[in-house]
Amino acid sequence: MSVRRRFPRAPLKIPVKYGIREPAYTGKSRVIGEGGMYVEGEHMFYKGTSLVLHFRVPGHSADTIAEGKVVWTIVKGTYGIYQGPGMGIEFTSVDPESRSAISRYVQEKKETLTRLLELLQEEHPPMKEINNLLTRTYIVDYTSLDDLRHQVKHHLKYFEVVKPEDAEEN
């Protein structure tokens, strides 16, 4: 699988309805970015299949109705953070307000994790502020401050953009 990412992405676990002409199945997202999302679900479609998706981005008052194309799948097992069965879906059509809401969501998550990492590097990290920021992430279990630092750094990798010319070929 070649890794190409033109947009940063952020963890997001929300229900997603999807199908070919209309949403007939329900799954859940794992990550989202302006360019697309990963959807875990029992009903899979082949690479290249065009889909309609309905979901609500946190902080956005309206449901998003997007069109997308399946660009990769995991039938069984895991690939990095992704668990199968699931599909990587590239958006082909998203209304401007929803695209803006996705962008804001991703930026807010990046800022939260960046601030967390800054605080964790202090000699005496302010745990009250750290715990407050953690409520805005999906990090719920850590064994030490070193473990938490490691998890925050791992989550910040979601926001890296890989240009097609820099992509790895596997």
Q: What is the pLDDT of residues 42-83, one digit of tens each?
A: 899 999 999 999 999 998 999 999 999 999 988 876 666 666
Does 169 fall in a domain?
no
Residue 98: closest CA among 147, 55, 40, 52: 55
When mean pLDDT is compared across 4-13, 66-75, 91-100, 121-130, the lowest value belongs to 4-13
Is 62 domain-assigned? Answer: yes
Residue 9 counted as domain residue: yes
Six-digit token string for 22: 């209309």
As for how many domains the chain has, the answer is 1
Task: List the domain range (segments joined by +) for residue 103.
Answer: 1-163
| Residue 107 included in any domain | yes
**How far apart (Å, rounded) are the C-alpha atoms in residues 24 and 52?**
10
Q: What is the pLDDT of residue 79?
A: 64
**Apex 162 CA angle, 158 and 164, nearest 5:** 145
Q: Which of 81, 89, 110, 82 lies closest to 9 in space, CA to CA?
A: 110
Residue 170 domain flag? no
In this structure, of 34-48, 99-113, 156-170, the range with the lowest mean pLDDT score is: 156-170
Query: In this structure, what token pair is assigned to residue 169?
Result: 């070929």
Does residue 57 fall inside a structural domain? yes
Q: What is the pLDDT of residues 106-161, one digit of tens each?
A: 999 999 999 999 999 999 999 999 999 999 988 888 999 999 999 999 888 878 87
pLDDT band for position 2 (50/70/90)?
very low
- 67 is a domain residue: yes
83 occurs within a structural domain? yes
Q: State the pTM of this model.
A: 0.84
Cis peptide leading into residue 23 (ω within 30°): no
Report the CATH number at residue 53.
Answer: 2.40.10.220
Distance CA 29, CA 4 (A): 19
